Amino acid sequence: DYLDVRTLLNCEWASSWWAKLLLLAPGCRSDSRTIYFDLDTVIVGDLTPLVKWNGDFGITENFHRIAGHRDWCKYGSCVMSFAPGWGQEVFDRFMADRENLLKTARHGDQSVIETLVPDATLLQGVMPAGFFLNKRDLWRYPDAPPPGTAVVVFGGSERPDNARHKWIKNAWV
């Protein structure tokens, strides 16, 4: 038995950074591939490789980890791709142990997803080189994104609306 999606949306945990876990809930996604982007993610190029990727579940590797901060979790939930129907079992496990998972997850929803799906495909490994660009690398590209970049990922206090680069602000609008 599952709670109605509307009931889930009214759960206390669903109104915080844990809300992304609702993407795994039955009835929250369509019957086709779902691609999720955080609101502070900027699309600057062709998403075809991501749209055509056909794995079950993919998630970005945490850009803090890529930068060498090994104390961060492996996943960054800023971009995720779900196959049709994928996630039911993961959602069941989340709901069965959610109190413990929410208490122990040091880095929010992405820590919970890593606990529940430790072997997810890291999207940087299956997308073309340079497909993702992290905000900390923007200083290298003052006038335009490098060729092949499709997604610019933000986080922390720097956001697209306060970025220094005109090309980011133009893409964000």
Find all residues with CB under 8 Å of 10, minimum gap 6, and list them: none
Find all residues with CB under 8 Å of 124, minimum gap 6, and list them: 60, 61, 66, 131, 132
pLDDT-derived band at 22 (thresholds 50, 70, 90) equals confident
What is the pLDDT at residue 1?
Answer: 36
Residues paired with residue 82 on neighbouring β-strands, in sequence order: 34, 57
Q: Please determine, for residue 171, whether its predicted confidence score (pLDDT) is greater than 90.
A: yes
Q: Please determine, for residue 10, whether its predicted confidence score (pLDDT) is greater than 70.
A: no
What is the pLDDT at residue 2?
Answer: 42
Q: Show the tokens assigned to 22.
A: 């609702």
16 vs 67: which has the higher pLDDT: 67
Task: Identify the CA nearest to 168 among candidates 45, 47, 42, 78.
Answer: 42
Q: How many residues does this entry show for the chain?
A: 173
pLDDT-derived band at 11 (thresholds 50, 70, 90) equals low
- CA separation for the pair 126, 75 (Å, rounded): 15
- % of the chain residues with pLDDT over 70: 87
Q: Please determine, for residue 151, whether its predicted confidence score (pLDDT) is greater than 90.
A: yes
Model confidence over 153-170: pLDDT tens digits?
Answer: 997 778 898 889 999 999
Model confidence over 81-140: pLDDT tens digits?
Answer: 999 889 889 999 998 998 888 888 777 788 889 999 999 999 999 999 999 999 999 999
Model confidence over 31-49: pLDDT tens digits?
Answer: 788 899 998 999 999 999 9
Q: Where are the alpha helices (DSSP H) in the chain?
A: 5-9, 48-52, 63-66, 88-104, 109-116, 166-172
- CA separation for the pair 12, 95 (Å, rounded): 13
Model confidence over 58-67: pLDDT tens digits?
Answer: 999 988 777 7
- CA separation for the pair 30, 86 (Å, rounded): 11
CA distances from 96 to 29, 69, 78, 138 (A): 21, 31, 25, 41
Task: Identify the CA nearest to 18 among candidates 86, 72, 84, 91.
Answer: 91
pTM of this prediction exceeds 0.75: yes
